[in-house]
Amino acid sequence: MKFIVAGQSAVTASEFVELALGIDFELFTGTPGENDMERAARLDAARDILTDLHQSDPEAAAYAEALMRTVPLPLRSKTAAGRRGAVAA
């Protein structure tokens, strides 16, 4: 079954939530590899949007705040995976 909202198709669960609630998932969770300046700008924009959401849609604001509290899982290092079984000299 396809989920289509305003001409956009949702493929993943996060895309479905984004289309259904109108909340940009990555704005509140971040993206892998963002630097400190990008993170600060993203969080500043997210706070502005949260202010508006609290007034217009408190339920969506609560969901967005929960997204901001998530901690991304660290990605496995390719070098650590390649050293499996190796003996340090």
User: What integer pLDDT is reported at residue 63 of this predicted model?
Assistant: 83
Residues of the chain with pLDDT under 50: 1
The pTM score is 0.55
User: What integer pLDDT is reported at residue 55 of this predicted model?
Assistant: 94
Query: What are the extents of the domains in the chain?
Result: 3-72
User: What integer pLDDT is reported at residue 19 of this predicted model?
Assistant: 66
Residue 19, exposed/middle/buried by CB under 10 A (0-12, 13-18, 19+)?
Answer: middle
- pLDDT, tens digit (0-9, with 9 covering 90-100), for 42-58: 889 988 988 998 999 89
User: What integer pLDDT is reported at residue 1 of this predicted model?
Assistant: 44
